[in-house]
Structure 1
Amino acid sequence: MPSLLRRKLEPPLPEAIDIAGGRLPLTVRQNPRAKRMIMRIAPGGGALVVTVPRGMSNRKVREFLDRHRGWVEERVSRAPDRVVIAPGAIIPIRGEPTLLTHRGGRQVTRLEPHADDAPSGEIAAPGVRQQLLVGGAPEHFSRRVLDYLRREARRDLEAAVKIHAAAVALEPRAITIKDTTSRWGSCTADRRLAFSWRIIMAPPAVLDYLAAHEVAHFREMNHGPKFWALCHKLCPETEAGKLWLKRNGSGLHAVGVG
């Protein structure tokens, strides 16, 4: 009983930790299957996530954080800079740098070419060949951009899934577009697919790989040799797609609302 009382009186863990350059939000998750503490930087470098065995004391978690503070600071320093969705920001759409431009009025959000010699009063973005024109009130700008990206992600993913599903002669039960942080896509045993809308910012060949990867699970609910053989058959650019996401995926997660 005394030990239980001492544990209840432990001070709570902080909601953020101090590192060089500022404070980093902290999330601690208990996992009954975890045998040791594991930490990772959330995609985009915006938070620290620590997974601990169930019942781990706060004192031990603090000691773990103190021992690995240098690792956290080094990883955060390598994370891509955050890009806030706002007029004048440049984000990738289908792999192409795209200037976000607010035009107001009742204009439908759409892509248009962008010239280096922007008219007076408009934002110049040398080297950027396309822009996303966004109408509506300024306070709705970020929501309209996100709505557009989600719609385009669904359209491209549904088209890619349709092609790959036909190749394996099985149809998806459903396709859901989410904002996941740990996985780009998922597939359930009853063929329900989920994808991150952020994949629309990647080159089309990477999106195609992701769709092929999840459709390959229709036949192989694992990551064994047969699964990868099928994945390569559906998408010959599988290795290039995997490598691109490994190298550039965190940059897509750095795009968000302020």
Structure 2
Amino acid sequence: MSDIEVVRHPRARSMRLSIDPASGRVRLTIPKRGSERAALKWAAGQHDWIEARRAELPLPRPFVPGAVVPVFGESLRLVHDGAARRSVKRTTTTLVCGGPADAFGGRIERWLRSEARRVLEAETLALADSAGITVTSVSVGDPRSRWGSCSSSGAIRYSWRLILAPPFVLQSTVAHELAHRRHMNHGPDFHALERDLLGADPVQARQWLRAHGASLHWFGRSSAGAG
């Protein structure tokens, strides 16, 4: 199977298969000195298990005309209008984009990334200013394993896909990263500051991300392992 990612783990005692819920990619973990050839042969015999687990993954949500996309708490329908400008225009209920149909999905994603950066930068700087916290930069990317990160220099980076989550989830992530500006750990002082910055218990946002976070990675994709 050519789509299996083989990972050698120093503490692994046996072979183990898992499916990345954010990408659908198969991961084969083997002991540090295990035989990769033997492990791949074993994995090839687990086809039914792999397909069953993939069937449980979130459904792909490609950016195509007619699709509905959540944007910071609002549901917006995607519209392709060949006579409209190529740049994306937001109305009360839609995102309208012109130009060639085969470029539609890419333009929608670029708009969403730009909107994510705008909203996250505004939310971050406003909260940082009110709390007297210094932030040197705010940017967005598309990491698979984290929703935000904060460096010791004050640079904060988020997943652009937070714009697809409910506002309280995005705002909780902002409070989480800002709390790291004073506490680069997850100790009691960090959690106390996180709650204070958010003005609420962040547990609800964490629970939402555990339950629904993987599904955000399937927006803009047409199939498992694509995109």
Deviation at 1:158, TM superposition (A): 0.5
Instruction: Find the counterpart in structure 2 of residue 181 from structure 1.
Output: 144
Would the aligned equivalents of 1:100 and 1:132 in 2 still touch at CA under 8 Å?
yes
In the alignment of these two chains, the number of paired residues is 218
Q: Is 1:145 aligned to residue 108 of structure 2?
A: yes
- The equivalent of 1:15 in structure 2 is 2
Q: Provide the alpha-carbon RMSD of the alignment.
A: 2.5
Aligned to 1:80: 58
Task: Give the whole-Å Cα distance in 2 for the aligned partners of 1:167 and 1:149.
Answer: 27
Consecutive unaligned residues in structure 2, runs of 5 or more: 223-227
Indicate the structure (1 or 2) with the bigger Cα radius of gyration.
1
**TM-score normalised by L of structure 2:** 0.84
- Is the Cα–Cα contact under 8 Å of residues 85 and 97 in structure 2 kept in the other structure? no
Structure 1: how far apart are the matches of 2:216 and 2:5?
21
List runs of 5+ in structure 1 lacking aligned partners: 1-13, 17-25, 114-129
Partner of 1:219: 182
Pick aligned residue for 1:194 from 157, 165, 170 = 157
Equivalent pair of 2:6/2:27 in contact (CA under 8 Å) = yes
C-alpha distance in 1 between matches for 2:178 and 2:191: 12
Residue type of the partner of 1:249? Answer: G
> What's the % identity of the aligned pairs?
34
2:207 equivalent to 1:252: no
- CA shift, 1:240, in A, is 1.3
1-side partners of 2:56 and 2:126: how far apart? 37
Partner of 1:5: none
Q: How much has 1:229 moved relative to structure 2?
A: 1.2
TM-score by length of 1: 0.75
Equivalent positions of 1:1-258 (< 5 A) are 14-16=1-3, 26-30=4-8, 34-36=10-12, 39-44=17-22, 46-62=24-40, 65=43, 72-104=50-82, 105-106=84-85, 108-113=87-92, 130-235=93-198, 236-258=200-222
Q: Distance in 2 between matches of 1:68 and 1:226?
A: 46
Which residue identity is paired with 1:244? W
Alpha-carbon separation, structure 1, partners of 2:24 and 2:77: 23
